[in-house]
Structure formats: C-alpha cells, structure tokens
Amino acid sequence: MTAQLERGQGLASTIARVILGVIFFAHGWQKFVTYGIDNVAANFDKMDVPLPTLSAWFAGIVELVGGAALIIGLAVPIVAVLGIIDMLGAIIFVHWDNGFFATGGGYELPLALIAGLIAVGIASHGSLAADTHLFKNRSKVNA
C-alpha cells in the first residue's frame, strides 16, 4: 500500500472515529448528567429492558467512556464491540417496534452507528490514534 493511500485511510478512519466518539460521548453524558442514571434505569424498566439498572449503567458507561476512547483512539476494537452490543440492545428493546426511520423513533440511527463501529473497529487507526502509539510494535496484517 502506498504511503499516501495509507495516510488517507488513516485520516478517514480518524474522522469517522472522532465523529462516532462525539455521538456516543454525548449520549453517555445525557444518561449520566442530563437525565441521571436512575431516571434512565426507570425508563428502561418501562420499556421492559432486561435488568434495567444494570443495562442503564452498561449503556451509560459504554457511551460515555467508550465515546471518549473512540475520540482519542484507545482500545478501538474493544469499544466497537461494546458499542455494537449497546446499539443492538437499543434496536431490540427500544426502536424495533417503531419501524426503520429515525424520525418515527425507528432503528435507523443505531443501525448506522453499528455500521460505523464495524468500519472503525477493523480499520487502520492512523497516526492520530492512541492505539497506534501504544501498540506500534505489533505485527501488521496486510491484505
């Protein structure tokens, strides 16, 4: 792969990772600060989310801490998997019955977030990611 193409892919991955990170961080902040985790758990209970208190904490932490980790590029594949689990829960327990489109409360946004998480989870993270510097000696897999 040419150095120019590799830099371009790293930059694209960084932009996508930061955008996703901001979205997740904002939703986690909303759960902890705006609504309060107890209110989120109460709403999860009303929506028949299993283990609503644990689920609220899981979602809040994954979104807040995971969003921050995505922004700085730390543990990106792990954060991506946890975010996908979070969004699958959102689709199954909150959005599915509302249909596809986000305007009607559907699963369009969480599905798009899953697509983004898959992409950044497997992509080269580029020079602006913490993972790149922390794991710079690991072997590269070239396709």
Domain boundaries in the chain?
1-141
Spans of the chain below 70 pLDDT = 1, 137-143
Question: What's the CA gap between 40 and 60, in Å, rounded?
Answer: 9
User: pTM of the full predicted structure?
Assistant: 0.89
pLDDT tens digits along 62-90: 999 999 999 999 999 999 999 999 999 99
Q: Which residues contact 58 (CB under 8 A, 6 or more apart)?
A: 86
CB atoms within 10 A of CB 76: 26
